[in-house]
Amino acid sequence: MSETAKQAIVVGAGLAGAAAARALADKGWQVLVLDMGTEVCGGGSAVPVGVLSCHVSIDDNPLSQLTREGLLWTRRFAQAHLQEGLDWLGNGVLERRMSPDNSAKKAWPEPEANSVWHGHVSLATAEQLSQAGLSADDTQALWQHQGAWIKPLALVRALMKHEAISFVGRAEVESMQRNVATGEWMLRVKNHISIPNMGSSHTYSTETAPHVVLALGAHTPDFLNQVLYVDHMGLHPIAGQVSWGLHGDASPESLPPFAVNGHGSFVSGVPTVDGNAWYTGATFVRQDIKPSLSAQGHQENQQRLAELLPHAAQQLQGTWDDATRLKGWAGVRCASVNRMPKVGPLDEAQFPGLHLLTAMGSRGLTLSLLCAEVLACHLEQTPAPVSEKLVQAMRPIKS
């Protein structure tokens, strides 16, 4: 591939967009990232903190295979580029095998040395359960050795920190078409401008590149329908609310020193400018594209926390009872019907040079870097870091 062809525009500056830009830039590409927000890491990626973990299944289904490898990709980047203890903490994740209806799950055997799960997942120890305020009778809780919590904003900023990546905010792509003669995509961009004491205005510009990556998260279905006039492929938005607060009266020793997953998640001891904080959630509302904080969302998160970690919920009761101390965040994720991400060319026959990187669901931290590498390898025409079967399972249009 010629150097002039190694140019791309990435639409979206969340986890997926930043990961795509970095994967390409590391391979010698010049990348322009456009986003409607003023800064990077808006939308669903703007959640204050998230859990890095793999999807555990006894039959090792495709999502498990993908998240297990994806976790390692994100962890390696975090180790190299983030400050542990401030931006992330890779001290493992406790997973309680819970279901919304409290139905029993199939027993999980301790992985043997030749198991794909060996070194990734084991049965939780009595000490780990005790640290979470749980009884040793919970014999089906799992310990994810490579798990972590991460601040998405810190990760996105680190991904974007590359001399071959440029970022333009307040940039809304209104239309795009391909110049058949040159093979380049031409994007008509509405640049929003804020004028002090005069409101807002806008200008228009045109950006061109032979390759475009759509990493729009929850905005992907509307963009496909309204700009490209193609089917949304079953992609749908899922709104979620996170509840959080400062530790306050709860001593650090009374809360788990690691992230906990199950019916929702819980992370404590996260450094903020105002002190250490805890986070729990998130709610799960399909087809909601405009989320807002609500008392009902906080109530749902409180109930989930009471089921996930009864002792922690009790320790934090004071914050839940005080509206001035209870804080929240709401955002929207993009998911697919089969929970697999959409990665690769949209339609090479109809839209050559146009690619998707979306539908990470609630696993953007775990999947974005690996999926971005898969996409970059496709563009470079080099082998992907996952099996061809997984590559095909993620393709927007199966080949």
Confirm if 355 and 346 have CB atoms less than 8 A apart.
Answer: yes
Domain ranges of the chain: 3-46+155-232+338-394, 93-145+236-335
pLDDT in tens, 13-57: 999 999 999 999 999 999 999 999 999 998 889 999 999 999 999
pLDDT in tens, 48-77: 999 999 999 989 999 999 999 999 999 999
User: What CATH number does the domain located at 93-145+236-335 have?
Assistant: 3.30.9.10
Confirm if 242 and 301 have CB atoms less than 8 A apart.
Answer: yes
**pLDDT-based confidence at residue 110 (cuts at 50, 70, 90):** confident
pLDDT in tens, 268-321: 999 999 999 999 999 988 876 777 899 999 999 999 999 999 999 999 999 999
pLDDT in tens, 335-385: 998 899 999 999 999 999 999 999 999 999 999 999 999 999 999 999 999
> What are the structure tokens assigned to 337, written together?
């019907």
Q: Using a pLDDT cut of 70, give the percent of the chain over it.
A: 94
**pLDDT-based confidence at residue 100 (cuts at 50, 70, 90):** low
**CA distance linking residue 17 with residue 167, whole number of Å:** 11
Confirm if 96 and 40 have CB atoms less than 8 A apart.
Answer: no
For the beta carbon of residue 379, count every other beta carbon within 10 angstroms.
23
Pick from 132-141, 207-216, 280-289: least confident = 280-289
The DSSP-derived string for 230-290 is ---TT-EEEEEEEEEEE-TTS-GGGS-SSEEEESEEEEEEEEETTEEEEEEE---EET-SS
Confirm if 361 and 333 have CB atoms less than 8 A apart.
Answer: yes
**pLDDT-based confidence at residue 399 (cuts at 50, 70, 90):** very low
pLDDT in tens, 220-279: 999 999 999 998 888 999 999 999 999 876 676 789 999 999 989 999 999 999 999 999
- pLDDT reported for residue 94: 98
- Superfamily of domain 3-46+155-232+338-394 in CATH is FAD/NAD(P)-binding domain (3.50.50.60)
3-state SS, 171-183, equals EEEEEEEEECCCC
> What are the structure tokens assigned to 295, written together?
């008392």
**CA distance linking residue 42 with residue 109, whole number of Å:** 40
